[in-house]
Amino acid sequence: MTRYEQLAAQIRQQIEDNIWQVGDRLPSLRESVKQSGLSLMTVVQSYQLLESQGWIIARPQSGYYVAKSKTSFAAAKGGKGSHLSENVEINASIFGVLQACNDPDIIPFGSAFPESALLNEPKLAKSLASVARRITQQSAVANLPPGNEKLRRNIAQRYAMQGIHVSPDEIVITAGAMESLSFSLQSVTEPGDWVVIESPAFYGCLQAIERLKLKAVAIKTDPIFGLDLDALEDVVKNYPIKACWLMTHYQNPLGGTMPIRNKKRLVDILNHRQIVLIEDDVYGELYFGNQQPVAAKSLDTLNNFFHCSSFSKCLAPGFRVGWVAAGRHATKIQHLQMMSTVSASVPTQLAIAEYLSQGGYDNHLKKLRMTLEQRQHRLLSAIAQYMPDSVKVNTPKGGYFLWLEFEPPFNAVRLYQLALTQGISIAPGSMFSTSDQFNHAFRLNCSFTWSAQLEEAMKILGRLCHQLLNEKRD
């Protein structure tokens, strides 16, 4: 390491340790020369390095300040070749991106949540208040796994309306979909087992695999049609795959939806080898138009698949209420839950059960879908206006993400860092893979009310993309 890199590493460490906080002015160049005994040139180089990495920003005539978010994004490690991911290691790189979205001063294009105002349902707040008045000590016991019966019946009724037969006894209420997905995976695997995942995949899937010490084969996923089934057929012949975790609708991050004929083929391939499907369907209710696409779980004749979802994306992210329709694995899921979180939160389970039983959820969803579709169009037109012409972007038929790509070697991690210094977050493609295949891409959340601030943020993002593309050419 050169001297200026050493000094930069020292300052970076101080920022990480909160010695210098966001917005603090760093020692001036002159002060730093005095303290470190290094030359002015060396100090300038180290400050410039930190600036280029997004840690600090220069304010003319004022000095260097710690940037809005002090988090840096390390590219995910661990991928071997384009498909195989032994030893998945992704956790560390994701936290920084997620933390940046929590800062209220940052435009949260990188966020995974819809705009909170969209989920403001006064009736739900009333249900929670009324439940809080009535709740007793006995309620905790009465709502232990599999969870509140009324809520499970209501969810089973919603499945029935889609033509999917799921008994309330097969449903387990969990603390959000992340818990239901993790328990599902844990219930059918042992450390060292192989699973199939999408490429790119929701980072929560990569984190769960890392935590459970599994090995993953990541299969190319199409931005329109979903998982590549020819590749899946090859993989299941060559690896002892235990489970396949994927999203059939509005895949995160790409936005694609698997057509019904592909779902049928997927189910055939998996059933042929008794491989379990873990279907992550958290965005399933957010379809545009009149027709909800039907889950692969509807084709589960062996009652062997998991269908996982939650109220986090449509109604109440902070309530942490989700579920899994676990078929014949339901008892195992309950055991796992009892051994870890014991049960989902009782007041929030009861509040959602009461809210659902009053009616009105479908109206809320209808409005939500229409708003999200309009907002997607708005962001698409800003992309057309401000992004370089070479940008590639699809138009998902639901959800609230847009996936943007430039030709490699466009560096979306660098875009993320530069954008953060301007108060804008994005979700760089590297969050969604253990390989570096998606470093040229990023995800934007299009659920926010359009405003002059958002317009300005898109202008800045467009300018930064132009800048990065020009750097590449030089």
Ligand X SMILES: Cc1ncc(COP(=O)(O)O)c(C=O)c1O
As measured in angstroms, the least distance from the Cβ of 323 to ligand X is 10
Q: Single out the residue of 294, 281, 291, 288 nearest to residue 246, CA to CA.
A: 281
Answer yes or no: are the C-beta atoms of 260 and 213 closer than 8 Å: no
- Is residue 356 near ligand X by the rule CB under 6 A? no
Question: In this chain, which stretch among 5-13, 60-68, 86-94, 172-180 interacts with ligand X, using CB under 6 A?
Answer: 172-180
- Of residues 291 through 320, those in contact with ligand X by CB under 6 A are 310, 312
Closer by beta carbon to ligand X, 196 or else 465: 196
Please tell me whether residue 246 binds ligand X under the rule CB under 6 A. no
Nearer to ligand X, 93 or 312 (CB): 312
List strand residue ranges (DSSP E) for 321-468, in order: 322-325, 392-393, 401-405, 424-425, 427-428, 441-445
Q: Which of 112, 235, 350, 464 binds ligand X (CB under 6 A)?
A: 112
Residues 6+ apart with CB under 8 A from 400: 114, 283, 286, 372, 375, 376, 445, 446, 447
Question: Residue ranges of the alpha helices (H) in 119-276?
Answer: 122-134, 137-142, 149-161, 176-187, 203-211, 229-238, 260-272
Q: Does 252 bind ligand X (CB under 6 A)?
A: yes
219: contact with ligand X by CB under 6 A: no
Q: Stretches 27-35, 170-178, 232-240, 373-381: which one binds ligand X (CB under 6 A)?
A: 170-178
Amino acid letter at 444? L
Cα–Cα distance for residue pair 352/424, rounded to 1 Å: 34
By the rule CB under 6 A, 147 interacts with ligand X: no
Binding span for ligand X by CB under 6 A among 14-22, 158-166, 174-182, 392-400: 174-182
Task: Name which position in 322, 396, 423, 429 contacts ligand X (CB under 6 A).
Answer: 322
107, 354, 369, 446 from 117: Cα distances, Å? 15, 21, 14, 14
Name the segment binding ligand X (CB under 6 A); options: 176-184, 271-279, 291-299, 405-413: 176-184
Q: Pick the piece of the chain touching ligand X (CB under 6 A) from 43-51, 173-181, 410-418, 447-455.
A: 173-181
Instruction: Confirm or reject binding of residue 284 to ligand X (CB under 6 A).
Output: no
Closest CB to ligand X: residue number:
176
Q: Are 345 and 147 in contact (CB under 8 A)?
A: no
Residue 254's nearest CA partner among 447, 458, 465, 442 is: 442
